Amino acid sequence: MIYLDNAATTPVRPEVIEAMLPYFNQFYGNPSNLYSLALRSRRALDEARATVAKAIGARGPEEIVFTGCGTEADNLAVLGLARARQNLGRHIITSTIEHHAVLYACEELRREGFQVTKLAVDRYGLVDPQELAAALRPDTILVSIMAANNEVGTIQPLRQLAQVVAGHQAYFHTDAVQATGAIPLKVEEWGIDALSLSAHKFYGPKGVGALYLRQGVKPWSVNYGGGQERGLRSGTENVPGIVGLAKALELATQGLEERLEPWRAKRDFLKEKLLAALPEAQLTGHPQERLPGSVSLVIPRLEGESLLILLDRQGICASGGAACSAGHGGISHVLAAMGVGPELGRGSLRLTLAPDIEYELLEEAAEKIAAAVQKLWKVNAISARSHRSGRRRGER
């Protein structure tokens, strides 16, 4: 099997599993209690909080809130911050290519009477900082723009965008679920107010995420219960998962700068092989400002789902776009926002590489993908000729 869908999820690293295991059946105490078994779980949470804060450049562990996933972190940031600050204004800014965890949260706020401005993106999927500046209003209370798009891999200029918002009453939130572990994050230095991440995107377990909240930034809770996580996320903490998230993030960020260039080289190797074999295919997303493992294409005269099924039979795991939207049919909202037409957009292919994948596997994958596309082109051409022939007979 050649796994090229790391943007959808990643396998859990052995070191992460090892770190998690004691908290399933040895240090299993509820961290809200006061006896020693429970306090051991509490210490694990405190250590994990400190590890996450350090990895993303936060000021301290008190700025980290653990959640059940990246979607929950996005919801807490968008819904919670907007509702907490509605006395200051009811205007929110986001972009047209955000993850549905943000877009659907904004739609809920619109139903509650908030106004939502969705910034357009250019053909690479980038938000123009000048358009962001022009969209800010006196009643704007929240700006939410993702760090990197999970479908085409384009990296947004977070520092520049956050600087546009600096000095305004609006908070700047970024969905960094796809970017964490793939690009360095420096929330304090860049002036980010809130940031969402999810462990299973960087070789940690599923079912656990985190939300960074700059000191003094406090949303309303979106769930109610025992008041865990400073009252922001009630529910007994998933201690093994949180330990796993912290360990995975520590491993993903250690030496990241040194790993980026070899990772990009593998990405470009696969991209160049595919474009040489399939000259009609087009790269989507920014050609340089993109995630180090992301290759995304649109291929004419092709239905993406047919290609994915054929590739699966060849032992290749790939995607036609965001995993959360798979199986919904039609063209993705991301490609549509970037100006890709429906005919071309239906042939989208997303390949996301692990940093340690071998070149031999990339060579094999490129050959199999090109052969699969050419096979489908041939089948489609025969089908089209047969259809035209049948129409002519019917006319006679």
The contacts of residue 142 (CB under 8 Å, 6+ apart) are 78, 81, 82, 85, 92, 93, 170, 171, 173
At residue 92's C-alpha, the angle toward residues 227 and 341, to 5°, is 115
* Tokens read off for 312: 């699966």
d(CA 18, CA 8): 23
Beta strands 194-198; 171-175: pairing state? parallel
Instruction: State the Cα–Cα distance between residues 130 and 82, nearest whole angstrom.
Output: 23
The answer to whether the beta carbons of residues 198 and 73 sit under 8 Å apart is yes
324 is an active site residue: yes
Residue 203: phi and psi, rounded to 5, are 70, 30
For 112, list phi and psi in degrees, rounded to 5: -85, 0
Q: Which one, of 263, 292, 234, lies nearest residue 357 by Cα?
A: 263
Instruction: For CA atoms 227, 233, 234, 239, give the dihedral sign.
Output: negative
Contact 342, 172 (CB under 8 A): no
Tokens 């123009």 belong to which residue? Answer: 128
- The CA-CA-CA angle for residues 100, 101, 104, to 5°, reads 65
Task: Considering the candidates 69, 106, 317, 324, report the single residue annotated as catalytic.
Answer: 324
Rounded distance between C-alpha atoms, residue 170 and residue 193, angstroms: 9
Q: Rounded distance, CA 346 to CA 320, Å?
A: 9
Catalytic residues: 324
